[in-house]
Structure 1
């Protein structure tokens, strides 16, 4: 099936113009989120990554263009119906004062409540499972105010998981987390995608984490322009990183996964431990062949 006759994805945006406080962030932005993908959006600061995500979640009304969810304009749905179909973890969240972890996570079940459907055993199971998945079950009776930034981030993620939506939008989900918990959260997202069929869309800053976990990568440049998108193995090149981020680098295979691994170029003044003055004198730019003409290790060569 070709791109021209492929069925439309569940979540897409066409011709968006997005603004904050009269400042236009993106113009004529079109994005198609592949179903059942782990899509990661990367780009330099202030390029419009989070703005795009909030528009996809109907938290920001476009000045022009339209977001479509399941074939209909997302603006045509009631809020509760949108919340049944997709969950959003925003970049910053504020919990009501004094609320406990368990009570906050339980709010993720709001879209499933109604006049004729009150709290049920199904709701209780969803909340407990969500807290267990993010490792905060033992914190259920603790006030959210008493938690560390990393613990709070996992609690907010629990609330989104408790919604039990098949589309998850996560704006910098690893914020405040140490490296071990970053990997745990991203592993969880990858599991939801791979084993449960969820469509996951995440904004990340770490390019290597993006390449390791994404099945579909969207690279944005300032002005809300899509610089490249597709499989990270095809998209992530040293030329792209330098063009979009202004960072000279090499791209090598990740020794664990084979996915692209970005290694920033060393500064000209850098001398490896134990190097002689003659060795450092012969160094030129980080990506160049040494002055003696010897080639670098092929495994460290740039890929195109």
Structure 2
């Protein structure tokens, strides 16, 4: 599929983009970019560094204004909505989130109710119930009175996700939600996202770096190459091939079935093996270091 248009056979979706030109820091990242996010999917966007993954996500969230083209939400240009209305329809977890010093978990999650507040509508029992339910879903309810600064990385990420869930939107955009987390906490956060998708029917769009995690969790995969070009998209079982990985990432590999899930598992080609140099004095082998240019 080209970057300029999506196939005519693609059905209408709640969130889509047409013919986007995106720039960041005076640099054009993508031209003629178009995507459709399938409703109720767990869509994962992957691609090499600086190919425009996060830039696309921020444009879908209306945090970045395209130089050309349009993002559409529920059939209307997203730019036509008021900010509060957008926040009632989709939630965004940015790549880097910083909590005010000393704020507690409960108070931070409560900020997710901002789109539902107004001059005539103050904090209500519905708001309280939404905050409690969001914290319960993410397993941080018992941390409600703890300062966010005191939490581990995995706990903090769950709290930020809880704040987004408190918005009570059915579309969640997550920009590298596993960044800076160890592998156990990465799996913890992604398992939670998968549960929200499966049990609650959320449409989730996440930018990830790990190809194997992307294939394990995604129901719809979007692969981007430098220049904001869509290299491939669809079900991971058909999209993820050794040829694609080498073409887009420059990495020779094999694709096998994940023994746990049956999803594609990317195994990088073995590194070049260097022969051992035998020490002529002792007759024992010594390691030969590869020369770098």
Q: Shorter-chain TM-score category?
A: 0.7 to 0.9
Q: Confirm or deny: 8 A CA contact 1:249 1:262 kept in the other structure.
A: yes
Unaligned runs of 5+ in 1: 271-287
Q: Deviations over 1:36-94 (max 9, x none)?
A: 11100000111000000000000000011110000000000000000000000000112
1:299 counterpart SS class: coil
Which residue of 1 is the match for residue 284 of structure 2? Answer: 295
1:300 counterpart SS class: coil
Residues in 1 aligned to 2:29 and 2:77: alpha-carbon distance in whole angstroms? 21
Residues in 1 aligned to 2:35 and 2:183: alpha-carbon distance in whole angstroms? 30
Q: CA deviation at 1:13?
A: 0.4
User: Which stretch shifts more, 253-262 or 177-186?
Assistant: 177-186
Q: CA deviation at 1:301?
A: 29
Residues in 1 aligned to 2:164 and 2:8: alpha-carbon distance in whole angstroms? 25
User: Which stretch shifts more, 220-229 or 144-153?
Assistant: 144-153
Unaligned runs of 5+ in 2: none
Q: Cα distance 1:99–1:5, how it changes in 2: closer, same or farther (>3 A)?
A: closer
Q: Confirm or deny: 8 A CA contact 1:252 1:301 kept in the other structure.
A: no
Aligned residues: 287
TM-score after normalising by structure 1? 0.84
Which residue of 2 is the match for residue 64 of structure 1? Answer: 68
Residues in 1 aligned to 2:206 and 2:281: alpha-carbon distance in whole angstroms? 45
Q: Deviations over 1:245-286 (max 9, x none)?
A: 11111000111111100011111217xxxxxxxxxxxxxxxx
Q: Confirm or deny: 8 A CA contact 1:212 1:259 kept in the other structure.
A: yes
Residues in 2 aligned to 1:64 and 1:58: alpha-carbon distance in whole angstroms? 13
1:175 counterpart SS class: coil
Q: Cα distance 1:153–1:290, how it changes in 2: closer, same or farther (>3 A)?
A: farther
User: Which stretch shifts more, 173-182 or 65-74?
Assistant: 173-182
Q: CA deviation at 1:293?
A: 36
Q: Deviations over 1:103-147 (max 9, x none)?
A: 011000111122332222222222122222222222221222333
Q: CA deviation at 1:25?
A: 0.6
Q: CA deviation at 1:101?
A: 1.2
Q: Confirm or deny: 8 A CA contact 1:217 1:232 kept in the other structure.
A: yes
Q: CA deviation at 1:7?
A: 13
2:265 counterpart SS class: strand
Q: Cα distance 1:255–1:113, how it changes in 2: closer, same or farther (>3 A)?
A: same
Q: CA deviation at 1:290?
A: 28
Q: Cα distance 1:84–1:289, how it changes in 2: closer, same or farther (>3 A)?
A: farther
Q: Cα distance 1:119–1:45, how it changes in 2: closer, same or farther (>3 A)?
A: same
Q: Cα distance 1:133–1:8, how it changes in 2: closer, same or farther (>3 A)?
A: farther
Residues in 2 aligned to 1:149 and 1:234: alpha-carbon distance in whole angstroms? 34
2:278 counterpart SS class: coil
Q: Confirm or deny: 8 A CA contact 2:2 2:230 kept in the other structure.
A: no
2:288 counterpart SS class: helix
2:88 counterpart SS class: helix
Which residue of 2 is the match for residue 245 of structure 1? Answer: 249
